[in-house]
Amino acid sequence: MKTNNQTWNQFAKNASLFAALGDETRLSLLLQLGEGNLASITQLSEGRPQTRQAIRKHLQILEDAYLVRGVRRGRENLFQVEPKTIEAASQSLEAIAKQWGDALARLKAFVEQ
């Protein structure tokens, strides 16, 4: 039984999403935004070892992955988290996990018969 392309396409699409999640600074930015829900670039840079520009780059990556959204208000750029995307990623992983679980179960059944 071949894995259907639907699953694969969706999974491959998520590669950049996982890559965006695969950095501690970005994860902590996401967590920080998850708490406060709205923060400017300067605010998000405070108390961190990196410069504002470095943080801005990370935010850009998160935004490209639709994990975060920035809205200009006056002279500041306010960012907030995009829960739908992370939810989708979670479900995508879960689907694969289930599929793998099933495959392993089939193998096990085959071997043990």
For residue 102, the minimal CB distance to DNA (Å) is 25
99's contact among its own copies, DNA, none, with CB below 5 to 8 A by partner kind, is its own copies
Residues 32-91 that bind DNA (CB under 7 A): 40-43, 49-54, 56-58, 61, 70, 72, 74-78
3-state secondary structure 35-100: HHCCEEHHHHHCCCCCCHHHHHHHHHHHHHCCCEEEEEECCEEEEEECHHHHHHHHHHHHHHHHHH
Q: In this complex, which beta carbon is closest to its own copies, that of residue 24 or of residue 75?
A: 24
CA distances to 6, 63, 80, 101 from 95, in Å: 12, 25, 27, 10
Q: b/e per residue, 43-60, with b = 16+ CB within 10 A?
A: ebbeeeeeeeeebbebbe
Q: In this complex, which beta carbon is closest to DNA, that of residue 54 or of residue 104?
A: 54
Size of the site for DNA (CB under 7 A): 23
Q: Does 13 bind DNA (CB under 7 A)?
A: no
For residue 109, the minimal CB distance to its own copies (Å) is 12
Which residues here bind DNA, judged by CB under 7 A?
A: 23, 25, 40-43, 49-54, 56-58, 61, 70, 72, 74-78
